[in-house]
């Protein structure tokens, strides 16, 4: 699909949103897409969205795996997406944890969601219009990060969020049951918005 207008992105949380949440997994053989993920990413890519993963990876700071292992994870996911005809524009992660055991990574940072650093960096490097972009995640920290950069947000309510500490900064624009429903919603709303813009409607 030919890209018209500003580059629009969809930022996808990794664990629990795009792939099954296997805690601290860096073994490519154990990576599994969540149900309907293949259909969802195809739908988004076909609609012209740039896809990027944004993921907290505190296992690095906790000494559970080396940061270099995440390159293998990123490569595996990218390879599987390319096999579906879907390019992955970027894999952005935060290796930090203020309570980590590895001194190099034990700190407060601006990239650990709900901080907005990962999304800001991705938008800058991928030349994305944040106001035309979306964040899809399965916990409210994801939603807050998206809202803090001006994205529209979708929460996949799959049971991962257990605390539900809601305020205006963490309130999802939309809540859905799975990733494909999120993709359908994004494409539908984006298409309608662009059609209104073309006709001068508000």
Task: Enumerate the active-site residues.
Answer: 13, 15
| 36: phi then psi, degrees, rounded to nearest 5 | 70, 10
Angle at 18 between CA 36 and CA 185, to 5 degrees: 60
Q: CA separation (Å) from 17 to 80, 180, 185?
A: 16, 10, 15
Strands 9-12 and 50-56: parallel
Q: CA separation (Å) from 167 to 32, 141, 170?
A: 33, 12, 5
């Amino acid at each position: 699909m030919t890209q018209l207008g500003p580059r629009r992105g969809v930022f996808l949380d990794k664990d629990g949103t795009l792939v099954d949440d296997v805690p601290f997994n860096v073994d490519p053989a154990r990576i599994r897409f969540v149900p309907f993920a293949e259909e969802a990413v195809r739908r988004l890519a076909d609609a012209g969205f740039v896809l990027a993963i944004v993921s907290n990876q505190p296992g690095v700071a906790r000494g559970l795996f080396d940061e270099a292992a995440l390159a293998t994870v990123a490569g595996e996911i990218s390879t599987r997406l390319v096999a579906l005809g879907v390019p992955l524009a970027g894999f952005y992660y935060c290796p930090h944890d203020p309570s980590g055991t590895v001194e190099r990574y034990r700190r407060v940072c601006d990239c650990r969601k709900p901080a907005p650093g990962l999304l800001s960096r991705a938008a800058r490097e991928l030349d994305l219009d944040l106001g035309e972009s979306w964040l899809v995640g399965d916990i409210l920290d994801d939603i807050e990060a998206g809202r803090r950069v001006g994205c529209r947000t979708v929460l996949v309510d799959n049971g991962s969020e257990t605390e539900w500490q809601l305020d205006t900064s963490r309130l999802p624009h939309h809540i859905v049951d799975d990733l494909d429903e999120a993709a359908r919603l994004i494409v539908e709303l984006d298409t309608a918005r662009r059609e209104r813009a073309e006709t001068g409607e508000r």
